[in-house]
Amino acid sequence: MKFSPSSFLPVRLLICCLFFFPSLVLSEAIAQPITTIEAVTSIAPLSRLVEEIGGERVRVVTLIPPGQNPHTFEPSPSQIANLHRAAIYFSLDMPFERTLLAKISGQGNPPFKIIEVGEGITKLPMPDHRHDHNYRRHERHDHDHQHHKPTTAYHHHGELDPHIWLGPPQLMIISDRILAALSAADPANVAEYRRNHQQLQTEIMAMHARISKLLAPFAGQTFFVYHPAFGYFADAYGLYQRAIEISGRTPTPRQLTRLIEDARRDGVRVIFVQPQFDQRSAAAIARAINGTVVHLDPLAADVLGNLEEMAIRISAALTDNQ
C-alpha cells in the first residue's frame, strides 16, 4: 500500500498544533477552576452585597434564615461549623453577633477574618420613648458618604441602630468595606472587584436619586412602624419613624392608647409591620384609626429593589395621610 505525501498533511497539522498551541488544544481538558472565597454574613441583604462585589469568586453563607428575627436569633451547631470553614465573616455588629464572635474568640483565635462593615458609619441610637415623640432630628443630613457626620440629636439610652443597610449613604460605606476585604483576601482579582464595586455604587446613587425625588414632597412627615428598623432610611429622606414597639417590648395598654391618640392626631392611615415581629399591636392601632397594616421587610435579599419598594409604599401611605 502506497501513501502519497499529501496523505500525511492532516497528521502534520495535528502535530504542529500540539507543539505550538497546546493551550488551544488542551484548554477544555485542563480548565482551571475559579478559586472562591468562603464568606459568612448574618442576613440576606448583606450577603447580596457581598455577592454583587465578589461575583462568582465568592461563596456566601447566610446565618439567619428568611422570616427569623435577628434580635432573637441563636445559631445552630451546623451554622457555627460554617463559620469555622469561612475565610471572612462580614459583621453588622448586632448583639447576637457580638456574643457569638466573643464565644468563638474565647476558644482561641478565630479561623476567619472579621470585617465590621459599619466601620466609618456614624450610627444612630435606637429611639427611646421616654423622651421622644417622633424620633425626630434637629439637623439635616449630609448625604456624602465620604464625609458622613453626626447630624442628629437623639436621647440615647441603649443600643445603637444596627440597620445600616437600609440607608443609601450607609450602603456606599458598606460596599467600600466589602471591596477592601475581598481585595485583601484575593489580590489577584482586585480589578474585577473594583469593577463590580463601581457598578454597585452607580446603582445605589441612581436609586437614591429616584427615591429622593419620590419622597421630597413628604419631608418632615412621620410614618408609623412596629419595630424601629428604618431610622437610616428616614434620616436620608427627611422623614421620621414612630415605633410601636417600645425598647424592644410590646406596648402596654396605656402606651397603646397614647400611640392611637398620636396616630389620630397625625392623620395616620397606615401602620407598617415587619414579618419577623408580632403584628397584634399594629393591627389593634390600625383598627382603632380605621387604617390598614402594610408590610415592609427590612431583611429582603434584594437590597436596592427593596429600598425602592419601601419608598413607594411609604409615599402611598403619606399621601393617604394628607
**CA-to-CA distance for 23 and 7, rounded, in angstroms?**
26
Task: Determine the 3-state secondary structure of 201 from DSSP.
Answer: helix
**Confidence check: pLDDT of 131 > 50:** no
For the sheet with 270-273, list strands across it.
240-243, 222-225, 270-273, 292-295
End-to-end CA distance of the chain: 99
In terms of pLDDT, which residue wins out, 285 or 10? Answer: 285
Q: Single out the residue of 178, 180, 223, 255 nearest to residue 320, CA to CA.
A: 223
The reported pTM is 0.80
Partners of 38 in the beta sheet? 59
Dig out the grid coordinates for 6 from the structure.
499529501
* Section 77-103 average pLDDT: 87
Q: Single out the residue of 124, 123, 79, 70 nearest to residue 98, CA to CA.
A: 70
List Cβ<8 Å contacts ≥24 apart for 240-247. 240/134, 240/135, 240/136, 240/137, 241/127, 241/134, 241/135, 242/133, 242/134, 242/135, 243/127, 243/129, 243/135, 244/271, 244/281, 244/282, 244/285, 245/277, 245/281, 246/129, 247/128, 247/129, 247/158
Greatest mean pLDDT among 25-34, 77-86, 101-110 = 77-86
* Section 60-80 average pLDDT: 82
Site of grid cell 471591596: 179
**CA-to-CA distance for 86 and 169, rounded, in angstroms?**
28
Please answer whether residues 114 and 64 qualify as being in contact, where contact means their C-beta atoms are separated by less than 8 angstroms: no
Amino acid at 28: E
pLDDT of the residue at 7 = 52
- Torsional sign, CA 192, 196, 201, 203: positive
| Confidence tier at 296 by pLDDT (50, 70, 90) | very high
**CA-to-CA distance for 322 and 320, rounded, in angstroms?**
5
- Sequence spans of domains, the chain: 37-321
In terms of pLDDT, which residue wins out, 283 or 66? Answer: 283
Q: Of the given ranges (68-82, 126-140, 277-291, 302-316), which has the lowest mean pLDDT? A: 126-140
| Confidence tier at 188 by pLDDT (50, 70, 90) | very high
In terms of pLDDT, which residue wins out, 4 or 246? Answer: 246
* Section 163-173 average pLDDT: 98
The tens digit of pLDDT for each residue in 257-281 reads 999 999 999 889 999 988 877 778 8
In terms of pLDDT, which residue wins out, 93 or 141? Answer: 93
Nearby residues of 52 by Cβ (< 8 Å), 6 or more positions away: 196, 199, 200
| Confidence tier at 96 by pLDDT (50, 70, 90) | confident
* Section 131-150 average pLDDT: 39
pLDDT of the residue at 140 = 36
**Confidence check: pLDDT of 151 > 90:** no
In terms of pLDDT, which residue wins out, 243 or 277? Answer: 243
**Confidence check: pLDDT of 306 > 60:** yes
Site of grid cell 459599619: 118
Please answer whether residues 286 and 263 qualify as being in contact, where contact means their C-beta atoms are separated by less than 8 angstroms: no
pLDDT of the residue at 5 = 52
Query: How high does pLDDT run on average in the chain?
Result: 82
For domain 37-321, say whether CATH 3.40.50.1980 is its number.
yes
| Confidence tier at 176 by pLDDT (50, 70, 90) | very high
Nearby residues of 202 by Cβ (< 8 Å), 6 or more positions away: none
> Which stretch of DSSP H or E encloses residue 39?
strand 37-41
